[in-house]
Amino acid sequence: MLKHTVAAKRLYKSAAWRRCRESYIAKVHGLCERCGEPGKIVHHKTHIDSENINDPMITLNHNNLEYLCQTCHNREHHEKHSPVRYGYKFNEFGDLIKCEI
């Protein structure tokens, strides 16, 4: 699980972020912008880091956001670094299984 910095935790608990997040989800009708399934995570296209965490043009700008379901968000963050080939995953028992795509 990703651990956020103190600054990131402060951002994600802020009223400004909650308003931005809610308005963005409404704008895209609550659907994942990649696959059309129900969304779950408002993703920053330009990843937030210590250099831009206080820049509202990065953190609170709808043009830098994308609403994703858990699967598409996982692909975005883990596919390039995953030891598992696309189309496969580990189940809760640690067994490699083919997943439905």
Each residue of 31-85: pLDDT tens digit?
Answer: 999 999 999 999 999 988 889 999 999 999 999 999 999 888 888 876 655 555 6
Confidence of residue 5 (pLDDT cuts 50, 70, 90): confident
Q: How far apart are CA 47 and CA 2, in angstroms?
A: 13
Provide the phi-psi class of 80: left if phi over 0, else alpha when psi is between -120 and 50, else beta.
alpha
Token couple for 40: 């779950």
Domains of the chain and CATH, by start: 6-98 (3.40.1800)
